[in-house]
A and B are shown apart, each in its own frame.
Chain A
Amino acid sequence: QSVLTQPPSVSGAPGQRVTISCIGNNSNIGSGFDVHWYQQFPGTAPKLLIYGNSNRPSGVPDRFSGSKSGTSASLTITGLQADDEADYYCQSYDNRLRVFGGGTTLTVL
């Protein structure tokens, strides 16, 4: 049972926009801790996609954006592409404890 709640799966057609939610509570996201997002392809390590709620590391396309409000956060992908098909995880904190969401599998139809 993951601390942060994500939908198990989302899907969209190429070119469309999808949003993945990440729901926490007042001991983690709601306490003001930042949310980060990771992208993971099968057989590889997760890669930092969004940090500090809405910042993109160098090299991440601006099709990926993040936001946070209250006890939840979301990752939005616009202009969906076939190679966006992957698992996506949110991560935040409960004081010093690092906590993850259960992951969302994105399928590009």
Chain B
Amino acid sequence: QVQLQESGPGLLKPSQTLSLTCSVSGDSIRSGGFFCSWIRQYPGKGLEWIGYIYHSGITFYNPSLKSRVAMSVDTSKNFFSLEVTSVTIADTAVYFCATDVGYDGFDHWGPGILVTVSS
């Protein structure tokens, strides 16, 4: 059973860079063939897909965030990462990592990590 766990700072100041890591256990990112995504949920419900990275390093980002987002993957240590630069209060959200295999839905999720941006 694949398990995901997010980690990283929970409090940032405006203009700082958000950096999160998602550790994967129970399967290999490389052999599992899944797309590793980051999704955020704003206070009050809405879900926003940020982007994905494949084990090969291929990425695809949501155009709404593309200029500020970077993802990376370390297949030897089985984790993938997210960076969002120049954060503002509007980036306050619970950040989830999740995986899907093509177009079959996100079948595995991390528990999520609350990231608060505040001065």
Contact = CB atoms under 8 A, between A and B. Distances in A.
Interface residues of B, number: 23
Most interface-central of A33, A98, A99 (chain B CB within 10 A): A98
A107 to B, nearest CB: 14
Q: Is the interface of B mostly helix, strand, loop or mixed?
A: strand
Interface stretch (B14-22, B25-33, B80-88, B106-114): B106-114
A64 interface: no
B96 interface: yes
Contact of A89 (B47, B63, B107, B110): B47
Interface string B75-117: 0000000000000000000001010100111110111100000
Contacts of B107: 48, 51, 57
Contacts of A48: 105-107
B48 to A, nearest CB: 7
Interface residues of A, number: 24
A100 to B, nearest CB: 4
Interface of B: 37, 39, 45-49, 52, 60, 62-63, 96, 98, 100, 103-107, 109-112
